[in-house]
Amino acid sequence: MARLYSPVGRPKPAGTDRTELAIWYLMRLTGLGLFVFALSHFLITHVLSDPANQTSEWIATHRWANDLWRWVDSSMLVLVVFHSFVGVRTVLQDYVGGRIRVVLVAILALVGVVLAGLGIWAVLSAAGPMP
């Protein structure tokens, strides 16, 4: 009989904590999304072209001149900030306990929200407002 959960993945939260269960599903959903988004992003920006040529001006006037790319980049940003910050929260929960954990997770959440805000603001402010 196979084990109920993978030996490397986080066990699916049992019990009544619906938030933790939602986070468990969202980690997998955003992970799948990033498998497509982040890998294609890396392929396009680092393999099919060279970041050395992607200057500030190029980003603002070429990459983000197309609204589709601004939507793609904004969506990817939200996915990656959620996935990476919740991932680091898992690591904190494994190694830190008590009040320090509460404080660190709160700081982490704040940094994540600020980072997402800065990123979305950069995408929105470039080359005119988004539709």
Partner 1 sequence: MVRLPRPDQSALLKLTYRGGEGMLAWAFHRISGIAIWAFILLHVLDIWLSQVNSALYDDLLTIYASPAGRVGETLLGAALLYHALNGLRIILMDFWPRLTLYHKQIWFVSWIVFVAVGLPVAYVILKPIWGG
Positions that interact with partner 1 (CB under 8 A): 2-9, 12, 28, 31-32, 34-35, 38-39, 42-43, 46-47, 50-52, 54-57, 59-60, 77, 80-81, 84-85, 87-88, 91, 111, 115-116, 118-119, 121-122, 125-126
Are 37 and 78 within 8 A, CB to CB?
A: no
CA 85 to chain centre: 7
Give 8 or 14: the residue with its C-beta nearer to partner 1: 8
DSSP state, 72? H
Distance between CA 28 and CA 87 in Å, rounded? 11
The smaller minimum CB distance to partner 1, of residues 2 and 68, is found at 2
Least distance to partner 1 from the beta carbon of 76, Å? 11
Which CB sits closer to partner 1, 12 or 106? 12
Among 101, 40, 25, which residue's Cα sits nearest to residue 9?
Answer: 25
Identify which of residues 5 and 71 has a Cβ nearer to partner 1 in the complex: 5
Distance CA 79, CA 33 (A): 7
